Structure 1
């Protein structure tokens, strides 16, 4: 059985075109062409397929576009390559993804600068490499058993993002700053998750303490600090960290990182974690119920509520919570963690659990995205 933790990273890979990095734009591209996607062959259809998890269809579409020479401009090739690498990664074809990435030159090459193609991008300068491509380049070595290489690349990417933040500050570009600030938060969470997955709690504590020294009121970092303190047995310390997050929520100070509902749910989930450590599962369920009432797609709250009910010996209701979520919000709830937990509950609750799991497996085969690991049902 697995609890979902707020340290879990959910990576959005579908809005790749919005990640085109522009350092200085004296005449915004959108004023001349409508939008960046207008320059690229059917990019919106790739986005739609990615939202649906149709990764095999993405590979087919990209292969056709390349074969028919439909991609004319430099940035188009980068965007399509980015979708291709992510699709291969989602389908666990890591060697092919790595080979695709190896076809690229250094990301800082003049070849990937807008100003190198003034006929295509007048008055535009900066890098056309999507941030998502930089991120997947950092992650691929881990999939090939090279964990340290991934960590090295992630730390280098974090330095790159912070350089961009400094440039945005000096240019007084608030929109640019907010975008790069979110990318910084994403990378920090990702790096911490890598260390947490290897139970390197001491390293996590050092890293997060250092980060908080320059970003003292970051609610996401404070929540992660509380979780790490909990893992180290410092329950009182984790309470202090979680209480500070709640104070920031009451002040409405999320640093631009969270919407109001997300902030409130973060606070409730933090409280629930404290209750769970004390085995007060009734109170934990109450906190998770508040989360779900605000946001029916909060899969962390849904999953953990079900497990709390199971620990309260209410297997029937715990199963109903997960089944209901799969029925109501399959796009969010259909995760391998949820399915593994539901199948474990079936095994505890029913003698004929094999038949019930087969029914679930058949349903998953019809609705799941291409990258879903159907073996998690253990049929």
Structure 2
């Protein structure tokens, strides 16, 4: 009886944690960053095993709103508690990603690129690291290298890289690189039409 009760309690705590996580994401979409951060903190109480990921998410959110100092404090805390993840590869990936995003927030694109590249060595299929590594190359004035890297990713692994944020970056590079950008965008649209549903937001291709 006690075992059944404990299992039920654990189940409902997990459900509550997922519900609160969804609420936090909704607040984030509404740009209510203060309440979103509070809600993410509350989720940790119900999903303590996710604490490194949740604190990393809060730190990256703080970078987006320009609070670099507080973000750095969160990232430092993540490095201290990362053994909770229990997986050395996962620990290294999350730490290197946080360092990369911190440098990105500081406009230190060379260092950011270095850390994003380290992540791609640990996890070659990581779409966030690959996409951001290419963006860093763009900011470093290496448009052709950046374009080559992003185009290669989309062609080699469309399942992961025919994504709105990746395609937005790629079409922006096309506009910077060539007067034939419209033709290249239309080619991307054809690839999207073959693989994605009607819900795909084609505005990321900037065809209008």
Shorter-chain TM-score category? 0.7 to 0.9
Question: Which whole-Å deviations, capped at 9, do the CAs of 1:8-52 have from their partners, x for residues lacking one?
Answer: xxxxxxxxxxxxxxxx9xxxxxxxxxxxxxxxxxxxxxxxxxxxx
TM value normalised by structure 1: 0.47
Correspondence 1:243 to 2:76: yes
> Partner residue of 2:125?
297
By relative contact order (CA 8 Å, sep 6+), the higher-ranking structure is: 1
- 1:374 Cα deviation after fit: 3.9
Is residue 2:24 matched to residue 1:192? yes
Task: Find 1:354's aligned residue among 161, 169, 182.
Answer: 182
Contact preservation (8 Å) 1:204, 1:228: no
State whether structure 2 residue 100 is matched by structure 1 residue 253: no
Moved over 6 A (4+): none
Q: Quote how far apart the aligned CAs of 1:231 are.
A: 4.2
Q: Identify if the C-alpha distance between structure 1 residues 267 and 191 changes in structure 2 by more than 3 Å, giving closer, same or farther.
A: farther
CA deviation vs aligned residue, 1:96-133 (integer Å, no higher than 9, x gap): xxxxxxxxxxxxxxxxxxxxxxxxxxxxxxxxxxxxxx
**Which among 67, 90, 93 is matched to residue 234 of structure 1?**
67
Give 5+ residue unaligned stretches, structure 2: none
Are the aligned partners of 2:49 and 2:84 in contact in 1 as well (CA < 8 Å)? Answer: no
1:344 CA drift (Å): 1.1
Checking the alignment, whether the CA contact within 8 Å between 1:297 and 1:333 is kept in structure 2 is: no
- What is the aligned residue count? 204
User: Could you tell me which residue of structure 1 aligns to residue 139 of structure 2?
Assistant: 311
The aligned runs of 1:77-92 (5 Å cut-off) are none
The 1:230–1:357 alpha-carbon spacing in structure 2 relative to 1, beyond 3 Å, is closer
Alpha-carbon deviation of 1:190? 3.1
Shift of 1:269: 1.5
Q: CA RMSD in A?
A: 3.1
Contact 1:229 1:237 in 2 (8 A): yes
CA 1:288 to 1:186, structure 2 compared with 1: closer, same or farther past 3 Å? farther
Question: TM-score, structure 2 length as denominator?
Answer: 0.81
Q: 1:207-286 maps to which residues of 2 (within 5 A)?
A: 207-212=39-44, 215=48, 218-249=51-82, 252-254=83-85, 260-286=88-114
Alignment of 1:7-26 (within 5 A): none
Aligned ranges for residues 176-191 of structure 1 at < 5 Å? 181=14, 186-191=18-23
